[in-house]
Amino acid sequence: MSTATQERIIRPARNILGTLRLPGDKSISHRYAMLGAFADGTSRFSNFSTGADCASTLSCMQALGARVRKLNDGRIEIDGVGGHVTPVDHPLDCGNSGSTMRMISGLLAPQQGTFTLIGDESLSRRPMERVRKPLAEMGASITLTDGHAPITIKGTQLRALDYTTPVPSAQVKSCILLAGLQTAGSTTVRESLRTRDHSELALRAFGAELTRAIDSVTINGPQTLRAIEAAVPGDLSSAAFFLCAAALFPGSGLILDGIGLNPTRATLLDVLTALGARIAVLQLQESHSELVGTVQITTDPQGLGSTTISGALAAQLIDELPVLAAIGPFTSGGIRVRDAKELRVKESDRIALVARNLRAMGAEVEEFEDGLDVPGGQRLHGAVIDSGGDHRIAMAFSVAALRAEGETLIQGAESAAISFPEFFDLLDLVAER
Ligand code: S3P
């Protein structure tokens, strides 16, 4: 992938109108790619994520022996390795993708061979002790570089583990489940807050058995996986940018078809409703236990109210917080975010970058260690936005720019392609000027 940085100019809009269908969910695509590549047989996925992150997972799994093809109809076809990866003599490049690195660590720890996982500059700054610790407790030989990538794993037989995650994280939970899948005995992950459950649903879809309780999940290993055919639901975290954009303009009308509405991900719809947007979910269906539906948003001429996002809500909305904070100035009563310290160790320090970029646009904002206060009733002007190479910052401020006075320049706009390469084209399609 090219490392050249690109700029994008975003002009103010009058309205958001139209109907869109979005590319596949990033979290589900990672899991389908990893499990399909590990399973017995040939899997096929339609509407697979078009983002660079999921391409990183596919290329790592390819290096580990899976065969990956793109079919003429756009589907991805994967011949799995049947539970045994091929040793590789070069590092596996996880690019910008924390999900790839953390989940693949669990998959590889019980395999035969020595594996090195590397990532780009941003990923090499992110904390990896959270996966090293439980895997080491299972008996894995895993070393980090000062708490970060590069990670070296010398595959070995593991022991089952009962583990409570200190910071609730779906990536860490998934890492342990993937190790537990291949380990004799009963491995349990407990979490104080419920995190997204795509791994649990995907493992079951591929034929694994697991037991779920309110705050824990248990897998009895070893188990084998069988290939599946699946359609990946549209990405709700990508939809969030369009829903928030629509919410900014009284008179918007937007329909998003085929969106993933897994209850562990759909909190955004409740928050936007509480803020005053009118949201309808239509044609709800299920695909491999993932809910999929059409989301319709219209807005109230009275505009958006106010809200506080903290506790469990902050954890569930973690990927949507940048865009919610970025539209905070356009609410009447502001948006407060707390208990979201994890935002500081995402692809960038998202608390610092949201605060800095809101200020660049002329907004008043208060930064806390674990969140932000963004007062409402503010007018913003166009500005130069530093995305910090973070896809969600680039897209969040493209949304805020729609309601600013004058043009906004997004620096590092190419980073949107990490999760959503089509973002700017689709925004042009639905933004009425
Ligand atoms: C993800 C889990 C979350 C989220 C990330 C995707 C996943 O990270 O922020 O974008 O697919 O499991 P954490 O597990 O670090 O909370």
Task: Give me ligand 1 centre to Cα 169, in Å.
Answer: 6
Atom 11 (ligand 1): residue with closest C-alpha? 27
**Residue-level pLDDT at 5:** 84
pLDDT band at 351 (very low <50, low <70, confident <90, very high): very high
| Cβ atoms of residues 361 and 405 within 8 Å | no
What is the tens place of the pLDDT at every residue in 61-116? Answer: 999 999 999 999 999 999 999 999 999 999 999 999 999 999 999 999 999 999 99
**Does one domain contain both 32 and 173?**
yes
Give the closest residue to 258 by CA, choosing from 216, 292, 281, 227.
292
Task: Give me ligand 1 centre to Cα 343, in Å.
Answer: 11
Residue 12, domain member (yes or no): yes
**Does one domain contain both 226 and 247?**
no
Query: Which residues span the domain enclosing 55?
Result: 26-230
Residue 120 has pLDDT above 90, yes or no: yes
Counting from 1 in the atom list of ligand 1, the atom nearest the Cα of 103 is 12
**Does one domain contain both 226 and 272?**
no
| Dist CA 202 CA 208 (whole Å) | 9
**Residue that terminates a domain, selected from 230, 260, 278:** 230
| Cβ atoms of residues 175 and 134 within 8 Å | yes
Residue 2, domain member (yes or no): no
Determine the residue of 99, 199, 267 to mutate for testing ligand 1's pocket, defined as the one with the most ligand atoms within 8 A of the Cβ atom.
99
Question: Are β-strands 290-298 and 334-337 bridged in parallel, bridged antiparallel, or unpaired?
Answer: unpaired
Residue 171, domain member (yes or no): yes
**Residue-level pLDDT at 3:** 53
**Residue-level pLDDT at 293:** 98
- Number of domains present in the structure of the chain: 2
Residue 70, domain member (yes or no): yes
In this structure, of 3-12, 133-142, 283-292, 326-335, the range with the lowest mean pLDDT score is 3-12
**Does one domain contain both 309 and 409?**
yes
Overall average pLDDT of the 208-212 stretch = 98
| Cβ atoms of residues 196 and 170 within 8 Å | yes
Determine the residue of 194, 318, 344 to mutate for testing ligand 1's pocket, defined as the one with the most ligand atoms within 8 A of the Cβ atom.
318
Residue 1, domain member (yes or no): no
Residue 247 has pLDDT above 80, yes or no: yes
Counting from 1 in the atom list of ligand 1, the atom nearest the Cα of 199 is 12
Q: How far apart are the first and last CA of the chain?
A: 33
Atom 10 (ligand 1): residue with closest C-alpha? 319
Task: Give me ligand 1 centre to Cα 196, in Å.
Answer: 8
Task: Give me ligand 1 centre to Cα 7, in Å.
Answer: 27
Counting from 1 in the atom list of ligand 1, the atom nearest the Cα of 237 is 10
Structure tokens at 103: 């989940």
**Residue-level pLDDT at 47:** 98
**Does one domain contain both 158 and 48?**
yes
Atom 3 (ligand 1): residue with closest C-alpha? 170
**Does one domain contain both 138 and 242?**
no
**Does one domain contain both 345 and 237?**
yes
**Does one domain contain both 166 and 284?**
no
Residues contacting residue 89 through CB under 8 Å, at least 6 positions apart: none
**Residue-level pLDDT at 300:** 84
Overall average pLDDT of the 195-217 stretch = 97
| Cβ atoms of residues 285 and 291 within 8 Å | yes
**Does one domain contain both 360 and 237?**
yes
**Does one domain contain both 212 and 325?**
no
**Residue-level pLDDT at 2:** 46
Residue 381 has pLDDT above 70, yes or no: yes
Q: Pick the catalytic residue from 93, 319, 386, 390.
A: 319
| Chain mean pLDDT for the chain | 97
- Residue 422: half-sphere exposure toward Cβ, Cα within 13 Å: 15
**Residue that terminates a domain, selected from 191, 209, 230:** 230
Structure tokens at 4: 């050249």
At position 104, the amino acid (one-letter code) is: I
**Residue-level pLDDT at 118:** 98
Residue 340, domain member (yes or no): yes
**Residue that terminates a domain, selected from 181, 198, 230:** 230
Counting from 1 in the atom list of ligand 1, the atom nearest the Cα of 171 is 14
Atom 15 (ligand 1): residue with closest C-alpha? 169
Give the closest residue to 114 by CA, choosing from 173, 58, 170, 155.
155
**Does one domain contain both 176 and 264?**
no
pLDDT band at 301 (very low <50, low <70, confident <90, very high): confident
> Is 319 part of the annotated catalytic residue set?
yes
**Residue-level pLDDT at 1:** 43
Atom 13 (ligand 1): residue with closest C-alpha? 169
- HEC letters along the chain: CCCCCCEEEECCCCEEEEEEECCECHHHHHHHHHHHHHCECEEEEECCCCCHHHHHHHHHHHHCCCEEEECCCCCEEEECCCCCCCCCCCCEECCCCHHHHHHHHHHHCCCCCEEEEECCCCHHHCCCHHHHHHHHHCCCEEEEECCEEEEEEECCCCCCCEEECCCCCHHHHHHHHHHHHCCCEEEEEECCCCCCCHHHHHHHHCCCCEEEECCEEEEEECCCCECCEEECCECHHHHHHHHHHHHCCCCCEEEEEEEECCCCCCHHHHHHHHHCCEEEEEEEEEECCEEEEEEEEECCCCCCCEEEECHHHHHHCCCCHHHHHHCHHHCCCEEEECCCHHHHHCCCCHHHHHHHHHHHCCCCCEEECCEEEECCCCCCECCEEECCCCHHHHHHHHHHHCCCECCEEEECHHHHHHCCCCHHHHHHHHEEC
**Residue-level pLDDT at 138:** 98
For ligand 1, residues with CB inside 6 Å are 27, 30, 99, 169-171, 174, 196, 318-319
Task: Give me ligand 1 centre to Cα 46, in Å.
Answer: 22
What is the tens place of the pLDDT at every residue in 152-179? Answer: 999 999 999 999 999 999 999 999 999 9
Atom 16 (ligand 1): residue with closest C-alpha? 169
| Dist CA 286 CA 360 (whole Å) | 43
**Does one domain contain both 306 and 218?**
no
Q: What is the CATH number of the domain that holds 346?
A: 3.65.10.10
Residue 30 has pLDDT above 90, yes or no: yes
Residue 377 has pLDDT above 60, yes or no: yes
Structure tokens at 51: 């983002």
Total length of the chain? 433
